[in-house]
Chain A
C-alpha cells in the first residue's frame, strides 16, 4: 500500500510550491542582474560586438571566342555600401555630396535597403571613381554604417564590340527581385539582354560571405570565428562561343556607317560565327552602372543603337526567298529542270501587270534563280499554290522562333491561308496577293538571323539548325566542359532538288548575268542570292544570303543593309569580304573596284 496520507499531502504540496517559487526567484534575480545591473556594460558589448556579413560577389564568367580568345573580361569596380540601421540621417547631406547624387534619390535608396534588411549592408552606389572612394575613406569615421566593397565589372579587351550579342546587365528591378528568389539583393546586377541574360545562371557564379567583426564606428576590427563561417564565392562559368572574334570585329568595321545586320553561321552545326547589328554602342558604357544621362541618350537616339537588328528586324526577304518556292516546286514534282518559260519582261495577272527588271527569254529553274527572273516565279507560285509555299517556308524555319541563345528575336511573319482569312476575311483576298509573295515581297517578314539559318540549310543540304553563340560552358572549379545541346530539323529535300537550287545559287555569283557577281571570293567557288526588300517609306533594303566554299561550305551568311537599294551592289560584296576573311583568316584580294568602293564607302557614308 502506498502511504495514502502522504500522497499529495499538504506539506508535500507546500514543498513543491516553494520549489517552483525558488526557481522563479533564481531566474528573476539573474534576469534583474543581467538586464538592470549589467545593462550598461552588456549594451556596450552588444554595440561593439557587431558582425558584418560582407558579401563577396563572385567573379562573373568570362566569354571566349572559338579560338580561345578572351572577348569579355572582368575588371575591378568599387561600390559604396550602407547599413541602414547604423547610418545616421544627419550625415545624408555629406554622403550625397561625396557621391554626387541628389538627396532624394539617396533617401529612396536607403529606404529600399531598409525595407529589405535594416542590418545588412546594401549598395548605394556602384562603380565609383577613385576620387569618390578616397573621399569616402577619409570620412569613414564620421559616416557610421558606410563601407565599400570591391566588385567586378565587364571589360571588353578586343575590337569586337558585339553589344547586341553579349548583352548587358542592369540593376535588378523590384519585380525581378520578387521573382528570382533569395539569391539576389537590391542593387545586384543581373543580365537583362543578350548572352548576359540568357546565361545569367551560368555566368553569375555563387556569392560568398565573409564575416568580420566591426566596432561601433563600423570599422572592421578583425575576422570572426577565424573565418569558420565564411563561404567562399564560387566563380561563374565561362562561355565558350562558336563566334570568331576577329571575324566579328571585321564585320563590324565593314558595317561602320551602315544600318543593318550581318549574321554568319557555321553551316555544319549552326554555330553563329558573327552577329553584327548596326548602329550599335560601346558595350563598356553598360559595364558597371550606366549613368542615367547616357542611358537616356541611348534610348532616345534616333538611330536606335539599342535595337537588335540582327534578330528583331522583320523585312520582306525579296528575291532571296525564291529558293523556298523553287524547293516546293521541285520537291513536290510540279516542275523539273526541263520546265521552261518565256520571260517577256512582264506578267499579266487579272488587270495588273507585274514587271520584271529584264527580259530574260527562255529560262528554266536554275537560270531563273541565277538571273532572279520574277516572271518565272510569278507563274511558278500559281502552279505550286499558297499552301505548299507556306509549308516549305515553315520547313526552312520562317514564321517561327529560331530558339537562338542570343536573346530576343522576332518570329517574322510567314503568311498562310489561315492568316489571310483571319486578317482580311474568307474570300476577301485574291490570288494577286500570292504574286508578291512569290518574289518575297508583301507581308512576308524575316529576320537576318532566320536568313542566315536559311543560307546554312541551303549550304548543308537541308539541315535547319538552332542558331547558337555558345558551344560549351566551362565549370571553372572542376574544369569540366559541357557542350550545350542544340537540336536541328531536316527540310526533306532530295539531293537532286538540292543540287539544282545550289547550282542556281552558284551561278548567281559565278555565271555571266548572275546578280551576285560582286560576292566573289578569290580562289573560292561560292553561292548566294541577292534580294531587295521593297520599302514604302524610303529607299529599298538590300539583302544577300550565301555560303562558301560551294563544294564544302564552311560559312553561311546573311547581310541586310537598310535603305541601301539593290542587294547586288553593296550587300553582296560585303558578304564576300566577310566569307573571305573567315576562310583565309585575312583578306587575300586583289580587290575588285566595286569592293574598294564599298570599303572606302564604309568610312565616308553617313548613317541613316
Chain B
C-alpha cells in the first residue's frame, strides 16, 4: 500500500513544499506581529489554505487536459495583465494588483496576475515545444517560442516590475536548453542580456560586454547571416537599455546603482542590504531564537515580510535554520530536474524544467540580494515572502510537479 502510494504520489515535493510554507508562516508572523500588522499573518494563513487547494487541484488534473487548456489559459492571463495595466491599483509604485473589495486603496484580497502569468507561460511554452511539428532549428518556431515568454514579459516590464521580468527571461533559457536548443540559440538569447547588463555599468563596460557577446555568437555561429542578425539585436538591446533605465522608477534606478556601488548610499536603498546583512550575520550559528531577532523585531528592514523575509530565519534561526531553508529549496530544484528527466511526456518534462527555472531564479536572486551578492530587484522568496498570489501560484506549480511525477510513465 505504502509502496503503491509512493509510486503514484509525490511525497517528496509535498513535504519540501510544506516545510517551506511552514518556515514562511513562522517568518511572516515574526516580521509582522509587532508592527500592528498581525493581520498580515492571518491573511497569509488563509492564502496558504487556498494554496493547498490549488496544489491538490493541479496535482490531479489530467496532463492531457492541462496541455489542451494551456494556450487558452495563457491568452486569458495575458488579457488580465492588460487590464491591470489599464486599471490596476498602484501598490508601491507599480500597477500589478487587482483590488478585490479593498477599502481606501488597500487591497484586502488582491490578486497579482503576473504571479499566475509565470505558471501559464511555462505551460504554454512547454505545450508549444511538445508539439511534434516544432523544431528549434526553424528560426520561425524559435521566434514563436521566445515570443511566448517575451510578450507577457514586456507587459510586466511596462508595469513596471523589473524583478518579475528577469524571472521570465531566466525561465526561458533552461527550457530551451532542455528542449535541445543548440549553443548558438542560447548564445543569441544570452548575448543581449550580457550587453544590457554591461550598458548599466557605463560605456567602457558596455563595449567590453559587447565584445564578449560578439565573441560568443562568433564561436557558436552556424551561419554568418544569423550571427550578424543576433549581434545587431544585441547592439540594439544594449543601446536601448540606457533609455529603459531612464524610464524606470527612481527607486529601481537607485536599487541598481546602489548595487553597482554599495558604499554610496548607506541610508537609502543600500540601507536595506546593509541591515539585511547585519541581521543575517548577527544570527550566528544557532540564531537569536524565534521572535528574539533584534533587527527583525525592531523593524530595521523596511517591508521585511516581503522581499527581505530571508533575514528572519537567518537572524532568528541562524546558520542552522538558514541552511535548512536553502537545503529545502535545493531539494525542490533537484527534484524538479529529476521529474523532468523521468517524465515520458515532453510537455510535462519541459514544464517541469520551466517550473524549476522559475523557482531557481527566485531563490538565487532573492537570497542573493538578502546576503548582498546580487542587486536588489524586488522579487519575493517563494513560499516564504508575504503575498497571496505568489503563494498560491507557487503551490500550484508544486502541484504540477507532483502531477508530472505521478504520471511520469504516461506518454
Contact = CB atoms under 8 A, between A and B. Distances in A.
Interface of A: 1-10, 12-13, 15-17, 19-21, 23-24, 26-28, 30-32, 34-36, 38-39, 41-43, 45-47, 49-51, 85, 117-120, 182, 225-226
A26 B329 CA distance: 13
A119 B180 contact: no
Interface in B179-195: 179-180, 182
B285 to A, nearest CB: 7
B278 A49 contact: yes
Contacts of B330: 20-21, 23-24
B349 A8 contact: yes
A31 B341 contact: no
Interface in B243-277: 267, 271, 275, 277
A38 B334 CA distance: 30
7 contacts: A6-B179, A7-B178, A16-B337, A39-B282, A42-B277, A45-B282, A51-B300
Contacts, number: 146
Nearest to A229: B302
Contact of A13 (B285, B326, B341): B341
B337 A27 contact: no
A16 to B, nearest CB: 5
A27 B368 contact: yes
B353 A16 contact: yes
Interface stretch (B105-113, B128-136, B385-393): B128-136
A12 B180 CA distance: 8
- Interface size classification for chain B: 35 or more
Contacts of A226: 267
Interface stretch (B17-25, B41-49, B70-78, B359-367): B359-367
B31 to A, nearest CB: 13
Contacts of A6: 179-180
B364 A50 contact: no
Nearest to A85: B294
A10 B178 CA distance: 10
Nearest to A39: B284
B337 A13 contact: yes
Contact of A28 (B323, B343, B353, B364): B323
B346 interface: yes
Contact of A42 (B282, B285, B353): B282
Interface in B79-109: none
Contacts of A13: 337, 340-341
B201 interface: no
Interface in B337-362: 337, 340-341, 343, 346, 349, 353, 356, 360
B318 A16 contact: no
The 3 closest A-B pairs by CB, nearest first: A42-B281, A6-B180, A46-B282
B283 interface: yes
B319 A35 contact: yes
A214 B271 CA distance: 17
Contact of A43 (B134, B281, B353): B281
Given A2-B134, A17-B334, A35 B281 contact: yes
A31 B337 contact: no
Contact of B178 (A5, A12, A39, A50): A12
B183 to A, nearest CB: 11
B282 A16 contact: no
A30 B132 CA distance: 44
A3 B346 CA distance: 12
Interface in B311-343: 314, 318-319, 322-323, 326, 330, 333-334, 337, 340-341, 343
Interface string B272-316: 000101111111110000000011011010000000000000100
B135 A2 contact: yes
B225 to A, nearest CB: 22
Contact of A51 (B298, B341, B360): B298
Nearest to B295: A46
A188 B10 CA distance: 55
A36 B285 contact: yes
Given A9-B180, A28-B326, A43-B282, A17 B134 contact: no
A26 B334 CA distance: 16
B202 interface: no
Nearest to A30: B371
Interface string B370-382: 0101000000000
A9 B346 CA distance: 12
Contacts of B353: 8, 16
B337 A17 contact: yes
Nearest to A86: B294
Given A42-B278, A226-B267, A31 B326 contact: yes
A35 B278 contact: no
A23 B373 contact: no
Contacts of B282: 39, 42-43, 45-47
